[in-house]
């Protein structure tokens, strides 16, 4: 497992994991993951979502089959009023489905609540001070009303744009935005 941190200069806050392998972002904050066509995980070090304290930590993920999804937002963009990570752009989905939803019109929202009893997208691996080492495993991908198991994605690619607002300033700062290109082998 790769070391994770919240800093911009050190290792990234996120990796793509599968079967004991961990793909981390390179210096250009892009993950290039050669995966098998089977479930994979988004593994991250984030702070817990705290509704009472109004500290809404979470990971926003845009996913698509075209590389263009990776360029819908950029470092420096604000996210409090508009844009793909703006208010109201989150997709209302059932996290227990372990499905990643594709589409440029809405983001997947992954969060973890300490002591949470409801279904949560992120599962606790370990507590590390104020941060939580967490993971979400996806078994299927949904696009245009169709949900398919990852196993049917052999030979295809998936592009992700992932944003974690580590300082809750509604601004995409360096290191907070990570692009991922997932290539699923034909098996």
**Contact positions toward Ca ion, by CB under 5 A?**
165, 167, 169, 171, 173
3-state DSSP call for residue 152? helix
Looking at the DSSP bridge assignments, the partners of residue 138 are 40
End-to-end CA gap in the chain: 24
C-beta closer to Ca ion: residue 151 or 173:
173
Give min distance, CB of 61 to Ca ion, in A: 16
Give min distance, CB of 156 to Ca ion, in A: 32
C-beta closer to Ca ion: residue 35 or 60:
60
C-beta closer to Ca ion: residue 17 or 165:
165
Long-range contacts made by residues 12-15, C-beta under 8 angstroms, separation at least 24?
Answer: 12/175, 12/178, 13/44, 13/45, 13/46, 13/164, 13/166, 13/175, 13/178, 14/42, 14/43, 14/44, 14/45, 14/59, 14/162, 14/164, 14/178, 15/42, 15/43, 15/44
Dist. CA 100–CA 107, nearest whole Å: 10
Give min distance, CB of 164 to Ca ion, in A: 8
Give min distance, CB of 41 to Ca ion, in A: 24
C-beta closer to Ca ion: residue 36 or 173:
173
C-beta closer to Ca ion: residue 101 or 164:
164
Give min distance, CB of 78 to Ca ion, in A: 9
Give min distance, CB of 186 to Ca ion, in A: 39
Burial classification of residue 44, based on how many CB atoms lie within 10 Å of its CB (0-12 exposed, 13-18 middle, 19 or more buried): buried
Which position's Cβ is nearest Ca ion? 173
C-beta closer to Ca ion: residue 17 or 176:
176
Residue 143 DSSP label: E
Cβ count within 10 A of residue 135: 17
């Amino acid at each position: 497992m790769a070391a994770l941190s919240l800093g911009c200069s050190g290792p990234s806050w996120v990796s793509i994991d599968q079967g004991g392998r961990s793909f981390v972002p390179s210096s250009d904050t892009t993950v290039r993951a050669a995966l098998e066509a089977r479930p994979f995980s988004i593994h991250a070090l984030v702070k817990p979502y705290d509704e009472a304290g109004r500290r809404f930590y979470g990971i926003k993920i845009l996913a698509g089959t075209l590389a263009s999804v990776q360029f819908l937002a950029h470092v420096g963009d604000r996210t409090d009023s508009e844009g793909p990570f703006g208010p109201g752009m989150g997709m209302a989905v059932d996290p227990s489905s372990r499905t990643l939803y594709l589409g440029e019109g809405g983001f997947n929202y992954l969060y973890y609540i300490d002591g949470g009893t409801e279904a949560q997208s992120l599962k606790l691996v370990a507590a590390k001070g104020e941060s939580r080492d967490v993971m979400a495993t996806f078994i299927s991908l949904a696009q245009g009303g169709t949900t398919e198991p990852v196993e049917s994605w052999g030979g295809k690619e998936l592009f992700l744009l992932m944003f974690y607002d580590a300082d809750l300033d509604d601004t995409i700062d360096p290191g907070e935005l990570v692009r991922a290109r997932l290539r699923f082998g034909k098996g």
